[in-house]
Amino acid sequence: MASTPTTEGLVAWPADLAARYREAGYWKDEPLTAPIWRMAEQRPDRIALIDGDTRIGYAEMCRRADALGARLRELGFEADDRVVVQLPNTWEFVVFVLGCLRAGVIPVMALPAHRRHELEYLAEHSEAVALVVPDTLRDFDHQGLAAAIRDAVPSVRDLIVLGDAREGAIDLRELCEPPAAGVEPAAALEALAVSPDAVAVFLLSGGTTGLPKLIPRSHNDYRYNAEAANEVAGFDEETVYLVTLPASHNFPLACPGLLGALLAGGTVVMLQSPEPSRAFAMIEAHGVTHVAAVPAIVQRWIDHEEAERTGRLSSLQVLQVGGSRLVDELAARVRPVLGATLQQVFGMAEGLLNMTGLDDPDDVIIGTQGRPVSPGDRVRIVDENGDPVPVGGRGVLHTEGPYTLRGYYRAPEHNRRSFAPDGWYITGDIVELREDGNLVVQGRDKDLINRGGEKISGEEVENLLYRHPGIEMNAAVAVPDPDLGERVCVYATLREGHRIELDDLRGLMRDAGVAAYKLPEVLVIVEDMPLTKIGKIDKKALREDLAGRGALRPGTTHYPAGR
Ligand code: OOB
């Protein structure tokens, strides 16, 4: 079955901007992978990847990726085919993604926590030809689920499995084997000449609508994303970068992430969990210099180091923190306790990256989320009427630049709302621009819950909960949480004769195959839902009501007194 070419759902950069980005040298008109392959020629034996006891040099990594790319072609994968990738942090993830980039196959970056609800949608929406999954992980049968999705989604032809591939599935490790003697896949792949303007990867939006949107990132723009971040984060050949966040997320993938480390000629260490004792052991064992984390992890690392005084972090130079707001008190403890320079990162899968500089004064490093990493980035802050806010004021952040999308994939209607008439991306983040050019994230004007860096769309949760016969109206809002920053709280009114507990709603969502992090953790039943003048649920009023209730523990249901 011939699928629709990717180009049909894309919004291109305007020609004048594209010309400017080329002239300025942001876009190098080469495949993203080119500098990595050059590194393999210059320094073949330098270690590129470490995963447990496995150590892979640059030349070997590139040979394996080329062999994988060539094998995909033999199996019938073509340039522009989409593949949903859901893999743990392993060396095979890196070889697979690089092999796809070389062969022009486009990875769709799912998260390990995704389940049927998300994966099926991603496969359908991208018309993926294959899924790549682990056999099982943390007792979950990913291979079984992927097989069910293959049966349900017509475009999906193949399953590629890390671990024991069952009948009819392709073994990822076999695909990753170096080429057989006498076979030279590199030249054949180079002859394919992947266009630098082609989509390199699809990232997922945090999503404020029913389902996540796909974000096309081109070879030109995504490579620049990583290279611009490299400059500000100080990545070079000496860098040893530890991946503990899910590698398919933009932050550890390319901000600068593992791609930045490889583009700089450094070493990437893959680890499947950010649990402090394991992560600290890896940092010590491999002399890790840079790592990225979300604030909830930083809290655990600081607590662990304060309690254990491990002294295992002496190699660590930079701790990048982003994904959700790092509170100033925690920020101030990073250097004294962990001994590393804090780098705040306020980024988004859509593009724009803001970072504090490594040499910035303490008040900037501790109290701001930094500034755009590229001179080509443009930002403006506007009030409710769309008028510019003066320096020092607050408003919604809009941006455009050499690595910020111009439109979500195949989402024309959503694009009309997410982009200003002049094409700038409306981030939905409420920020303050300081005199010194640094941004401080103050809140947001978007229907999203940020659970320790994991983004949950209110609308997606609400749509699912309307499947419950007892729910009359419902609204998902963020409840503040000391560990994760926010958790999902659902307000609901009930139909006559129904009584619902939190666990009923969690069960419903679990049965629908929804990723666990999206499940509500607090349920508040109310007699009447507050409505706005135009009859929409008034979430602002709900947030105020929530604030008045004090701390609500996760796992609790709250009925009005007397019910
Ligand atoms: C990162 O990317 P996404 O796409 O998962 O989420 C983007 C949103 C931002 O619009 C903002 O609302 C929030 O996450 N956010 C932050 C933040 N970093 C991201 N809010 C407050 N403070 C921060 N430091 O989360 C992401 C992508 C690349 C690098 C780092 C994070």
pLDDT in tens, 40-91: 999 999 999 999 999 999 999 999 999 999 999 999 999 999 999 999 999 9
**Which atom of ligand 1 is the closest one to the Cα of 444?**
12
Q: Is the pLDDT of residue 421 over 90?
A: yes
Q: CA 149 → CA 77, 152, 202, distances in Å? A: 19, 5, 19
Distance of CA 401 to the CA centre of its chain: 19
Residues forming a β-bridge with 372: 354
Rounded Cα–Cα distance for residues 95 and 177 (Å): 10
398, 379 in Cβ contact below 8 A? yes
Candidate of 232, 318, 324 to mutate for ligand 1, largest count of ligand atoms within 8 Å of Cβ: 324
- Compute, in angstroms, the gap from residue 462 CA to the centroid of ligand 1: 23
Beta strands in 298-408 (DSSP E): 318-322, 341-348, 351-355, 371-372, 378-382, 394-400
Q: Which two tokens stand for residue 227?
A: 């290279």
Domain 448-558 has CATH 3.40.50.11540: no
CATH placement of domain 15-355? 3.40.50.12780
What does the alpha-carbon distance between residue 283 and residue 290 come to, in Å, rounded to a whole number? Answer: 9
Query: What confidence score (pLDDT) does residue 187 get?
Result: 85
From ligand 1's centre to the CA of 356, what distance in Å? Answer: 14
Ligand 1, atom 2, lies closest to the CA of: 348
Question: Ligand 1 center to residue 453 CA distance, Å?
Answer: 7
- In this structure, what token pair is assigned to residue 246? 């899910």
Residue 350 Cα to ligand 1 midpoint, Å, equals 10
Cα of 89 to ligand 1 centre, how many Å?
A: 20
Q: Indicate the pairing of strand 82-85 with strand 522-525.
A: unpaired
CA of 426 to the centre of ligand 1 (A): 14
Q: Which residues contact 444 (CB under 8 A, 6 or more apart)?
A: 428, 429, 430, 450
Q: Do domains 15-355 and 448-558 have the same CATH topology?
A: no
pLDDT digit string (tens) for 242-261? Answer: 999 999 999 999 999 999 99
Give me the pLDDT at residue 2, please. Answer: 61
pLDDT tens for each residue of 456-466: 999 999 999 99
**Class of residue 218 by CB neighbours under 10 A (exposed 0-12, middle 13-18, buried 19+):** buried
Q: Which atom number of ligand 1 is nearest to the Cα of residue 441?
A: 21
Tell me: cis bond preceding 154? Omega within 30 of 0 counts: no
Domain ranges of the chain: 15-355, 448-558
Choosing from 258, 348, 438, 517 the residue with most ligand 1 atoms within 8 A of its CB, the one to mutate for a pocket test is 348
Per residue in 506-529, pLDDT (tens digit) is 999 999 999 999 999 999 999 999
Ligand 1 neighbours, Cβ below 6 Å, are 206, 250-251, 255, 322-325, 344-349, 369, 427, 429, 441, 444, 450, 453, 455
Residue 484 CA from chain centroid, whole number = 17
Phi, psi values for residue 56, rounded to 5°: -125, 125
Closest CA to 242 of 181, 192, 317, 168: 317
The answer to whether residues 483 and 516 touch, using CB atoms and an 8 Å cutoff, is no
Q: Whose CA is nearest to atom 3 of ligand 1?
A: 348
Output the CA torsion 487→493→499→502 (10° steps).
-10
List the strands of the sheet with 394-400, edge to edge.
378-382, 394-400, 425-433, 439-444
pTM of the prediction?
A: 0.98
